[in-house]
Amino acid sequence: MELLCKVQNYAWGKKGSKSKVATLISNVDKDFKLNEDVPYAELWMGTHINAPSIVKETGEKLSSVISNHPEYLGEKVSNLFDGELPFLFKVLSVEKALSIQAHPSKEHAKELHAKYPDIYKDPNHKPELAIALTPFEALCGFRPIKEIRKFVEEIPELSSIVDGQNIEEDNLFLKKAFRSVLTCDKTMMAETIDNIIKRYETIDDAQRKIYLADLVVRLHEQFPYDNGILMVYFLNYMQLRPGEAIYLAANDPHAYISGDCIENMACSDNVVRAGLTPKFIDVDTLCGMLIYKGENPTDKLFNTIKEDNCTKLYKPPVPDFAVAGIEISSSTGKYQLLKRESASIVLVISGSANFNGRGILEPGRTLFLPANEVLEVTDITEDLLMYQAFANI
């Protein structure tokens, strides 16, 4: 079933034809009017109530089709997730940094939803996987703690606001230092940022790279004097190449900075924010939920499993979702996607081919496949790149 999917125009999105979201949707929706002054931030594919996908042929919501045909989900998925599609599949086009944030565990999400239903609007967890479509920047997980200590020691402006520098136990130092930056008085933070940027004007290019000066300046331009700017010295700065991925488990601090990516997640919208955002900030909740453990950036890259010559599997440690990246050369006569026991959504990123003798695969085309259905690709006229989302059962 071909799907019509919804676009979200958040302010942080890339504008006009610079947005992968906009170019994908405009290629398949002839009624879509692309405006070069409008941000196109997210394309949502799934059943989430905030932007439900529609079956093109009938005009029905995908959620209604699944409700009427629970067998489409697959028996295991239907039983485990009470007849609901458990994942939300997205494309993101990021121009301006998203917030310093983390997502609660399932138990914590239930607590937050019960206490603050207007802020945390569902009781589900929200682990997520981001796969770069273009060069993609993100902050992800705490840096090795020795790196954080080194930044604190060598950047006098940072040292002046970090509490707990004399604490020898690494995790306790990190917990205290992280909170002290996020709770720093706004007047002191403004003075700190001004002094840092002024001093960075006098250092050489090698030092600017070490101290992430250009990134600090860019984040300051986007969110002037925000406490979250200094998180670049606490979190791993990741520069992903297309196809590389990061997995964001519960209580894992992160922020997307720029680029286009595929994202798949549990079907939730629970976010605890603490900086780089005009939205509600909940520093106490965030600081109380994080796992204070330093990791190398290479440890944050998510490894794939080769399923066959055309398919690599991104398989996170949760049952809610997985993603297959499918690359098919134009020299391939035909290819049959691997059968899945779960319902799935297939998105074409690039290339051209026929499928099942029923239509054309082209960039932006989105298909829903019931469990155990097979998609056969033929007449591949241009190398094909697709991503397929499904439950990880």
Q: Is the pLDDT of residue 278 over 90?
A: no
Mean pLDDT of 247-258: 94
Determine the Cα angle at 290 with ends 288 and 291, to 5°.
125
Check whether 155 has a pLDDT greater than 90.
yes
Q: What is the pLDDT of residue 49?
A: 87
Q: Which residues contact 270 (CB under 8 A, 6 or more apart)?
A: 103, 104, 109, 112, 113, 120, 121, 122, 124, 125, 126
Q: How does pLDDT run across 141-151, given as a tens digit for each residue?
A: 999 999 999 99
Alpha carbon separation from 197 to 200, 218, 225 (Å, rounded): 5, 11, 11
Element (H, E) at 116: none
Q: Is residue 55 in some structural domain?
A: yes
Considering the domain architecture, whether residues 53 and 83 belong to the same structural domain is answered as yes
Q: How far apart are CA 168 and CA 341, in angstroms?
A: 50
Tokens standing for 137?
């920047």
Asked whether residue 95 is assigned to any structural domain, the reply reads: yes
Per-residue pLDDT for 333 more than 90?
no
The pairs formed by 156-163 with CB atoms below 8 angstroms and a separation of 24 or more are 157/192, 157/195, 157/196, 157/199, 158/192, 158/196, 158/230, 158/233, 160/192, 161/188, 161/189, 161/192
Residue 163: pLDDT band (50, 70, 90) is confident
DSSP characters for 158-206?
HHTT---TT--SHHHHHHHHHHHHHT--HHHHHHHHHHHHHHHTTS-HH
Active site residue 273: yes
Written as one letter, the residue type at 349 is: I
Q: pLDDT tens digits for 295-307?
A: 999 999 999 999 9
Q: Cα torsion for 294, 296, 298, 303, to the nearest 10°?
A: -30
Structure confidence at residue 378 (pLDDT): 94
Instruction: Write out pLDDT tens, residues 212-241.
Output: 999 999 999 999 999 999 999 999 999 999
Query: Per-residue pLDDT tens for 195-215?
Result: 999 999 999 999 999 999 999
Instruction: Quote the pLDDT of residue 3.
Output: 96
CATH number at residue 344: 2.60.120.10
Check whether residue 225 and residue 249 sit in a common domain: no
Average pLDDT over residues 149-164: 93
Q: Assess whether 174 and 209 both reside in one domain.
A: yes
Q: How confident is the model at residue 258 (pLDDT cuts 50, 70, 90)?
A: very high
**At residue 370, does pLDDT exceed 90?**
yes
Domain count, the chain: 3
C-alpha to C-alpha distance for 245 and 133, rounded to whole angstroms: 10
Query: What confidence category does residue 358 fall into, taking pLDDT thresholds of 50, 70 and 90?
Result: confident
Place of tokens 């405009």: 26
Contact of 393 with 319, CB cutoff 8 Å: yes
Q: Which of 137, 148, 114, 128 is nearest to 295 (CA)?
A: 148
Same domain as 331, residue 210: no
**Count of residues in the chain:** 393
Q: Are 91 and 364 in contact (CB under 8 A)?
A: no
Average pLDDT, the chain: 94
CA distance 56 to 325: 24
Q: Does some domain include residue 130?
A: yes
Residue 292 has pLDDT above 90, yes or no: yes
Same domain, yes or no: 244 and 104: yes
Query: In this structure, are 107 and 31 located in the same domain?
Result: yes
**Predicted pLDDT of residue 209:** 96
Q: How much is the pLDDT for 35? A: 97
Domain membership flag for residue 294: no
Identify the active-site residue in 143, 149, 218, 273. Answer: 273
Task: Please give the average per-residue pLDDT across 158-173, as a whole number.
Answer: 91
Residue 211 structure tokens: 């101290």
Query: Are 10 and 132 in a shared domain?
Result: yes
Residue 56 domain boundaries: 3-140+238-275
In degrees and rounded to multiples of 5, residue 11 shows phi and psi of -65, -25
Where b means 16+ CB within 10 Å and e means fewer, 16-41 reads: eeebbbbbbbbebeeeeeeeeeebbb
213 and 114 in one domain? no
Same domain, 102 and 166: no
pLDDT digits (tens, 9 = 90+) for 28-82: 998 899 999 999 999 999 999 889 999 999 999 999 999 999 999 999 999 999 9
**Residue whose token pair is 């989430």:** 48
DSSP 2: B
Q: Please report whether residue 281 resides in a domain.
A: no
Calculate what percentage of the chain has a pLDDT beyond 90: 86
| Helix (H/G/I), strand (E/B), else coil: 56 | coil
Residues 218 and 148 placed together within one structural domain of the fold: yes
Residue 264 pLDDT > 90 = yes
- Same domain for 48 and 25? yes
Decide if pLDDT at 120 tops 90: no
Residue 241 DSSP symbol:
P
Residues 186 and 246 in one domain: no
- Say if 50 falls within a structural domain: yes
